[in-house]
Amino acid sequence: MQRLNKSITHAVDRPVKVMQFGEGNFLRAFVDYIFDVTNEKTDFNGGVVIVKPIEFGNLDRFHDQECQYTLQLRGYENGQPKEITRQITSVVDAVAAIEDYEKFMEYGTSETLRFIVSNTTEAGIVFDATDDFNACPPKTYPGKLTKLLFERYKKFNGAADKGLILLPCELIADNGIELKKCIMQFIDLWKLEDGFKTWVNECCSFCPTLVDRIVPGYPREDAEALCKEWGYEDQLIDRAETFGLWVVEADTNITLDQLKKELPFEEAGLNVVFTKDHHPYKERKVRILNGSHTSFVLASFLAGNNIVRESMDDPTIRQYMEETLYNEVIPTLSLSKEDCEEFTKAVIDRFLNPFVKHQLLDISLNSVSKWEARCLPSFLGYVNKFNKLPKYLTFSIAALMSFYTSQTEAEFNGGIVLQGDRNGEKYNIRDDKAVLDFFKENSAKSAAEFAHAYLSNTAFFGGEDLTKVAGLEEAITNYIEDIRNRGMRAVVTDLVNA
Ligand SMILES: NC(=O)c1ccc[n+]([C@@H]2O[C@H](COP(=O)([O-])OP(=O)(O)OC[C@H]3O[C@@H](n4cnc5c(N)ncnc54)[C@H](O)[C@@H]3O)[C@@H](O)[C@H]2O)c1
Ligand SMILES: O=P(O)(O)OC[C@@H](O)[C@@H](O)[C@H](O)[C@H](O)CO
């Protein structure tokens, strides 16, 4: 069978206007789709060049099919099933920042470039004082970007119209502001000239954004049948839900009107909100949708489920999930109860999407930092507001600790994971090395010692010592002991019935 290529998709040659750091499933199902539709429906006419920002992995799959790929969006809209299968042609090239450094810089300093998007996971936007300006490229994402901007500033003699608009998609708080902060730190560390600092400050826009689309990615089970049906081979098939929302905040260097004009997403009929304040959208999404994932997924997995949809069909987990959101998360949010309840209802419908097989183990990646970012604010908000422990959010800590229980290391995708045991079946626990080392060392201890070690580890809870929360250590100790003795299914069933 022929490999997908430009002659099949009839891709049009377009100038590179967008540079995208990250080649993962999410950006391809979201940002590249958005630019693809915008190219079709408006005169935007911009290509995306994908940059692989880290050493890991290679871009052969992209080059083998001239960066073309098929995206399948599936879900329900107004009670009716909806499916969009679309050949994405917006990506015009893919380069590795390390291996293809010169080409990467060529794109970075091209006349036509105007936007930078990124999704480098929660680990990407960091300042590291050991990063080196003279390295080609510097090792961190913000370090690479600082050097790229500097080369651009030099090449165009600081021309104001050669500044860039940065649209980071990472799910961290104030992603645009954090990214700019890191760049400013690198400018100071590397003693780059004042004119450059002024150019970055005045001619580049760092727009915080919030993204929302559930992307399970490559459909392993169906890929062969799909390729047969389409009549071509595609190693980059991507699958996601039909729902998608991008909230983009204008920074002070650009007006909302100019941003809308430069990014004609509204004209293209896309669900993009341009706003002066993205915070309410972010709080609602991260605390309700992501917080819900992080609080029920580990318990659900240990209770025997494998995907989100199956968890929603499990009455015990469904009740766990709904009571967490309605009784414990929503009362801690700043938006109105009505607004939050409407959003929650929509999230439940999205979790029920029969076409999306979202693996619990995929969501479980890096759960310790996710609990801190997505659940801790609701947990502490509830304790402060009601002066008691929230039943389910408290239990979710014990579920996380049970899921992370292991002394066995294994190799996975070139890295080290811990191997958990679900009734004799092995599963991978994937997180930062320091987190895995902690659980390897502590998870075999008595329930009381394990609970004390975890809750008092302030690095896991934004500097908070959770042993100071009245009754928490005892509650977690009891849950852990109970789960060890009777298994997750029995304990979680009793929990929802209590
Ligand atoms: N999958 C979803 O449903 C979904 C939805 C919304 C947001 N997200 C966000 O997307 C991210 C994961 O993306 P994905 O699902 O496409 O996974 P992925 O593993 O396919 O992609 C991750 C990307 O991040 C890059 N990366 C990883 N560590 C990095 C580092 N330290 N510095 C620079 N780049 C780094 C990788 O090169 C890769 O391009 C997560 O941060 C998640 O919050 C995912
Ligand atoms: O992608 P992660 O690993 O950061 O988090 C897992 C899920 O909560 C997440 O992917 C959601 O499905 C997504 O954020 C929805 O927009």
In a domain, residue 115? The reply is yes
pLDDT at 56: 83
Please, which pLDDT band fits residue 77 given cuts at 50, 70 and 90?
Answer: confident
Give residue-wise pLDDT tens across range 202-218: 999 999 999 999 999 99
- Both tokens assigned to 194: 């004042």
Higher pLDDT, 186 or 172: 186
Question: Is residue 198 located within the same domain as residue 332?
Answer: no
Q: What are phi and psi of 450, to 5 degrees?
A: -65, -45
Question: Is residue 229 located within the same domain as residue 306?
Answer: no
Give residue-wise pLDDT tens across range 389-431: 999 999 999 999 999 999 999 999 878 999 999 999 999 999 9
pLDDT at 78: 77
Q: What is the ipTM, given to two decimal places?
A: 0.94
Give residue-wise pLDDT tens across range 232-267: 999 999 999 999 999 999 999 999 999 999 999 999
Give residue-wise pLDDT tens across range 342-361: 999 999 999 999 999 999 99
Last residue of a domain, one of 224, 242, 275: 275
The predicted model gives 71-79 an average pLDDT of 89
pLDDT at 252: 94
- Both tokens assigned to 257: 């009107």
Ligand nearest the Cα of residue 217 is: 1
Please, which pLDDT band fits residue 121 given cuts at 50, 70 and 90?
Answer: confident
- Both tokens assigned to 113: 């470039």
- CATH number of the domain bearing residue 136: 3.40.50.720
- The beta strand positions in 250-374, using DSSP E, are 272-275
In a domain, residue 1? The reply is no
- 114: pLDDT strictly greater than 80: yes
* Cα atoms found within 13 Å of the Cα of residue 45, Cβ hemisphere only: 6
Q: 295 CA to middle of ligand 2, Å?
A: 13
Q: How far apart are the first and last CA of the chain?
A: 58
Q: What are phi and psi of 95, to 5 degrees?
A: -130, 150
The C-alpha torsion from 97 through 102 and 105 to 110, rounded to 10°, is -130
The DSSP bridge partners found for residue 82 are: 75
Residues 489, 304 contacting (CB under 8 angstroms): yes
Question: Is residue 269 located within the same domain as residue 284?
Answer: no
Please, which pLDDT band fits residue 123 given cuts at 50, 70 and 90?
Answer: confident
**Long-range contacts of residues 378-383, Cβ cutoff 8 Å, at least 24 apart:** 378/287, 378/291, 378/328, 378/329, 378/332, 378/333, 380/464, 380/469, 381/331, 381/332, 382/328, 382/331, 382/332, 383/469
Task: Tell me if residue 125 falls in helix, strand or coil.
Answer: coil
- Both tokens assigned to 471: 């009754």
Q: Label residue 279 left, alpha or beta by phi (over 0 means left) and psi (-120 to 50 means alpha).
A: alpha
The predicted model gives 480-489 an average pLDDT of 98
pLDDT at 415: 84
pLDDT at 31: 98
Q: In what order do the strands lie in the sheet with 409-412?
A: 409-412, 415-422, 425-429
Question: Is residue 302 located within the same domain as residue 270?
Answer: no
Q: Is 25 in the pocket of ligand 2 (CB under 6 A)?
A: no
Nearest atom in ligand 2 to 366's CA: 3
Amino acid at the residue 353: N
Question: Is residue 222 located within the same domain as residue 352?
Answer: no
Nearest CA to ligand 2 atom 16: 212
Q: What are phi and psi of 76, to 5 degrees?
A: -115, 135
pLDDT at 76: 87
Nearest atom in ligand 2 to 293's CA: 8
Question: Is residue 38 located within the same domain as residue 62?
Answer: yes
Ligand nearest the Cα of residue 29 is: 1
pLDDT at 413: 80
Last residue of a domain, one of 240, 275, 310: 275
Domain that holds residue 311: 279-497
pLDDT at 57: 86
Nearest CA to ligand 2 atom 8: 290
* Number of domains forming the structure of the chain: 2
- 79: pLDDT strictly greater than 90: no
Question: Is residue 250 located within the same domain as residue 318?
Answer: no
Nearest CA to ligand 1 atom 8: 26
Q: Is 488 in the pocket of ligand 2 (CB under 6 A)?
A: no
In a domain, residue 419? The reply is yes
Question: Is residue 177 located within the same domain as residue 301?
Answer: no
pLDDT at 168: 98
Q: 120 CA to middle of ligand 1, Å?
A: 5
Nearest CA to ligand 1 atom 39: 22
Among positive and negative, which fits the CA dihedral 256, 258, 260, 262?
A: negative
**Long-range contacts of residues 263-269, Cβ cutoff 8 Å, at least 24 apart:** 263/38, 263/44, 263/115, 264/38, 264/42, 264/43, 264/44, 265/34, 265/38, 267/41, 267/42, 268/34, 268/37, 268/38, 268/40, 268/41, 268/42, 268/44, 269/37, 269/41
Ligand nearest the Cα of residue 122 is: 1
pLDDT at 257: 97
Task: Kindly report the average pLDDT of the chain as a whole number.
Answer: 96
In a domain, residue 187? The reply is yes
Q: Can you tell me which residue has the tokens 């507001």?
A: 385
- The ligand 1 site (C-beta within 6 Å) comprises 22-26, 52-54, 119-124, 141, 170-171, 211, 213-215
Question: Is residue 73 located within the same domain as residue 124?
Answer: yes
Amino acid at the residue 208: P
pLDDT at 238: 98
pLDDT at 240: 97
In a domain, residue 479? The reply is yes
Residues 30, 211 contacting (CB under 8 angstroms): yes
Last residue of a domain, one of 251, 275, 299: 275
In a domain, residue 87? The reply is yes
Question: Is residue 195 located within the same domain as residue 220?
Answer: yes
In a domain, residue 425? The reply is yes
Question: Is residue 285 located within the same domain as residue 262?
Answer: no
Question: Is residue 359 located within the same domain as residue 417?
Answer: yes
Q: What is the spatial distance between Cα 383 and Cα 440, in angstroms, rounded to a whole number?
A: 30
Give residue-wise pLDDT tens across range 370-391: 999 999 999 999 999 999 999 9
Amino acid at the residue 425: E
- CATH number of the domain bearing residue 291: 1.10.1040.10
